[in-house]
Structure 1
Amino acid sequence: MNGAADDRERAEELLLARISATAGRARLGRRRVTYRAPLTGPWRRRSVTAWLRYLLRADGGPARSPASRLDLYEHGLTVAVGRRMHAVRFDATVVRRCTVLTSRGVTGALVLVDVQGARVVLRRGDFARSQEWWSVICGAVVAAQVPRALDALRQGARLEFGSLWVTADAVGSARTSLRWSEVQRIEVRNGFVAVRADGRRLMWATGASGIPNLCVLRSLAEHLARAGRDDD
C-alpha cells in the first residue's frame, strides 16, 4: 500500500474513532447512515497528506471540507467538521428552520441544539443528499418527542412553541386561541406559520424560524385537530 493510501486510511480511522466515541458518550445507539461533504474547489486538488494535516488541526475549518461528515444513529446524530465534533439527541434537541446566506446564495438550514447546549447548523448542500437527511432528521425528532408531548398534554400541560402555546383542548397565541375542533391544519406560508381554521379564519404566528420544533408542533396539531373533530 502506498503512502497516500496509508495516510487516507489513517485519517479515516482517526475520524471514525472520534465519531464513535462521541456517539457512545451520548448513547446514540447504532449508526444507520453517513452523509459526507461534497468535495469542491481547491480541495479536489489537494494531496491526501494535506487532508490529513487539516484533519489533525486544532481549530477545524469550513463546513465544506473533506473532514466534514454527518452520521445518523438510532437516537441522534453526530456532525464532524475538522476537530469540532457535535452529538445531538433526537429526544432532547430543539430544531429550527431558517434561511442562511452562503457563498452559493440563500439556502435553507436546520439549526439544532447538541447535548452540550451548542448550536449546530446544517445547511442544504453541506452534505450529500440534503433532501434525504433533512427529512430523516425532522421525522426522527417527531418520532422521539411527539409521544412524550402527547402524554404531557393529557396530564394537563401547556406546551410553548415560540409565540404559540398548545394544550389538549386548544392552540393559541398572546392575542387569540382556537379549539382543536375548529383547526384544520398548521401550515407555513411565505415564511410565516399560520393556523388555518374552519372557513377562512387564519391565526398568524411569528416567522417560521422563530418556532422551535415546528415539525413537532405540526405533528401534534394534526393529531389533536383530528381527535377534536372526531369528538364533535
Structure 2
Amino acid sequence: MTTATRDVETAVLDEAAARERLGRHGAAYLPVPPDARRHIVIAIVAAVGAFAAALGFTFGATVLGIVGLTVAVVCGVRGLAGWGWSGLITARNSGTRLDLYEQGLVLTYRGRVRVIRYDTTRVRRKILQLTKNPGPGQISYTYTVTDVTGVPVVLRHGFERPQQWGPAIERAVTEAQLPGMSAALDAGARLDFDRFWLTRDEIGAGRDAVSWSRVEELEVIGGWLSVQVVGRSQPLESLPVSLIPNYPIFRALVDRMRMSRQEIVNEA
C-alpha cells in the first residue's frame, strides 16, 4: 500500500468519525494475515513424500513409491492452492481495518465505510471454543452490531486481537447506554431485549412474566442463559446469550432490579 493510499484512507476515516462525532481515535485493528506455517508444513511433507517416492521406485519398493508419490502430489496441489488462496485473501483484505474511537467505531471493508455509535448500537456476541482447552487461535469470535442507519454489521475474529476489541466495544456500549436505560426503567418505561423485556415491576419473555421478587438467579451454562424463578421447576425462559442484544446491559439491569426488590422484601 502506497503512502498516498494510506493518506486517502485516513482522510476517509477521519471524515466519517467527525461526521458522527465519534471523538478521539483509540485503536486500530487490521486483518489477521494468512498463517504461513501451515504452508511450510505442507511443503515439508510434500518433499518427504517425493523423497520416499524416489527411493521406492529406485530400489523396487513399489508400494513405498506409490504412497510417497501420492503424498507428494496431494500436498503439492494443496500447497499451491493454499498459496494462491492466501494471496487472494491478502488482496481482498487490502484496506480493511477496524478503528475504535471514544464514541463509536468505524469499519472499512472493500472501500466501504460503516460507522457505529456506542450510544445507539445493539451488540450481539457469539464466542465459541473449538476445543476443550483452546489455544489463542482456537476460539471463534463474532460480534454483530448495528450501524448508524440500523443495518447489522458483523465483526469476526478475522481481525487481530478479537479478545481485546470485542470486550472493549461491549464496555463502551454499556457505559454509553446503561445510565439512560436504568433511568428509563425507574421512570416506568418498558425496555425490550428481543425475546426478553423489562419493566420497573417485572421481567417477561414473550407473554410470560414474573415480578422481580420471584427472580431467583440468572444462570449461564454452555452459552445458554436461564432465568430461574422461585417456586417454578422450569425457568421463565432459556436462550443462547448470543441472541440477547446488549447482553452486559441486560444482565446489569436484571441484577440491579432483582437485588433491589429482594432488599425491599427483606426490609418488609
Fold-level match, TM-score > 0.5? yes
SS in 2 for 1:34: strand
Unaligned residue ranges in structure 1 (runs of 5+) = 1-6, 55-60
2:123 counterpart of 1:90:
no
- Give the letter aligned to residue 77 of structure 1: L
2:144 counterpart of 1:111:
yes
2:40 counterpart of 1:12:
no
Contact kept in structure 2, 1:90 and 1:144, CA below 8 Å: yes
- Give the letter aligned to residue 68 of structure 1: T
Paired residue for 2:167?
135
Would you say how many aligned residue pairs link Structure 1 and Structure 2?
207
Contact kept in structure 1, 2:34 and 2:86, CA below 8 Å: no
Unaligned residue ranges in structure 2 (runs of 5+) = 36-82, 129-136
Q: What is the TM-score of this pair, normalised by structure 2?
A: 0.68
Deviations 1:134-190 (Å, cap 9, x if unpaired)? 111111111111111111111111111111110112211235323223334434433
Shift in Å, 1:43 = 9.1
Q: 1:79 to 1:14 in 2, by over 3 A?
A: same
Q: How does 1:68-217 map to 2 (within 5 A)?
A: 68-98=96-126, 107-123=140-156, 125-198=157-230, 202-217=235-250
- Give the letter aligned to residue 97 of structure 1: R
Using the alignment, how far apart are the partners of 2:14 and 2:165 within structure 1? 19
Using the alignment, how far apart are the partners of 1:126 and 1:185 within structure 2? 35
Paired residue for 1:3?
none
Contact kept in structure 1, 2:24 and 2:101, CA below 8 Å: yes
**Greater fraction strand:** 1
Using the alignment, how far apart are the partners of 1:45 and 1:219 within structure 2? 43
- With 145-154 and 32-41 compared, the bigger mean Cα shift is at 32-41
Instruction: Give structure 1 regions of 4+ aligned residues with deviation exceeding 6 angstroms.
Output: 43-46
Larger radius of gyration: 2
Contact kept in structure 2, 1:70 and 1:80, CA below 8 Å: yes
Identity over aligned pairs, percent? 32
Q: 1:16 to 1:231 in 2, by over 3 A?
A: same
